[in-house]
Amino acid sequence: MNYYNRKALPSVKHDHFAALDPAERDLVCRLAALLRVADGLDRTHESRVRGLRCLIDQEEVLIRCKVVGPAPEEEKAAAEKADLFVLVFRKKILVRMVTD
């Protein structure tokens, strides 16, 4: 799973992924999609995001992150790592940072 968190997207070209049955591949994709966004939210490894709230509708997911200080790297990285999320969940993802 760590491979899909930071590097390539899941693919049947990867032996370990291809060996899974379809339900397991679907689960790996869903979990990797969430993990990639979470990894982006800790881009600087400074724990700037202290909490979050997700608002979900038919077309998009809004993630409102409670942050300590500015967190532009986290906002940008989470948006960049949302590619798999969009493919898997078929929803746009928006990340907004909110300071206390």
CATH of the domain at 11: 1.10.3210.10
For residues 26 and 30, give the distance between their C-alpha atoms in angstroms, rounded to a whole number: 6
pLDDT at 76: 95
pLDDT tens figures, 13-67: 667 878 888 898 899 889 999 999 999 999 999 999 999 999 999 999 999 999 9
Number of domains in the chain: 1
The predicted model scores a pTM of: 0.83
Q: What is the distance in angstroms between the CA of the first residue and the CA of the last residue of the chain?
A: 34
Distance (Å) of CA 16 to CA 12, 31, 33, 57: 8, 16, 18, 34
Residue 92: give the domain boundaries.
2-99
> What are residue 86's DSSP bridge partners?
none
